[in-house]
Amino acid sequence: MPDDVSLPIAEDFQPRIIAFFCNWCTYTASDLAGTSRMTYAPNTRVIRVMCSGRIDPQFVLAALRKGADGVLLGGCHPGDCHYQAGNYKCLRRFRLLKRLLTQLGIEEERVRLEWIAASEGDRVQKVTNEMVEQIRKLGPLRLEKIPTHPNGEAAPAPAEPMATATEGAVS
């Protein structure tokens, strides 16, 4: 895009990556990596979900909005989902989400989906390291700031024939 101004990446930039790992495979694999004393980049914050099918695309956007530079999703290999089809649902959402994010100016490498089985601790190590390096090259994610109105100015106090608030929306 002609308007993009590449800002320099600070030398001490440390990528922040939110990882959503499924309980049955990838989270167990990261546990295995830990108990096997494998070392890997400390840049991920892992959030355990019961299934990769539970990863709402809203979670990914919320992570990016709240300061993540990348989001890593991990689930069971195809055919291995504890709930049979959750990982396929994750895959379908992920493919569409990537298209959407690209349109919104977010590099597709910032979001990654990997199938990692419970026994593949070494793969957690490898994928995490790869992703951290990838994001390090891309630099921090700089989203557009959401404008908010100044809260200081309170609305004038209601007068007649106004209102006591009641519960529930008008339907």
Cα 82 from chain centroid? 22
What residues are paired with 73 via a beta bridge? 20, 113
Applying the rule CB under 8 A, the residues between 91 and 150 that interact with other proteins are: 91-93, 95-97, 99-100, 103-106, 141-149
- Backbone phi, psi, residue 133, to 5°: -65, -40
Applying the rule CB under 8 A, the residues between 40 and 79 that interact with other proteins are: 53, 56-58, 60-62, 64-65, 78
Regarding 171 and contact with other proteins (CB under 8 A), the answer is: yes
The CB-of-145 to other proteins minimum distance in angstroms stands at: 8
Report the side by side order of strands in the sheet with 44-49.
44-49, 17-22, 70-75, 111-115
Number of residues that bind other proteins (CB under 8 A): 58
The CB-of-56 to other proteins minimum distance in angstroms stands at: 6
132 token code pair: 């951290």
In the bound state with other proteins, the residue whose beta carbon lies nearer, of 34 and 105, is 105
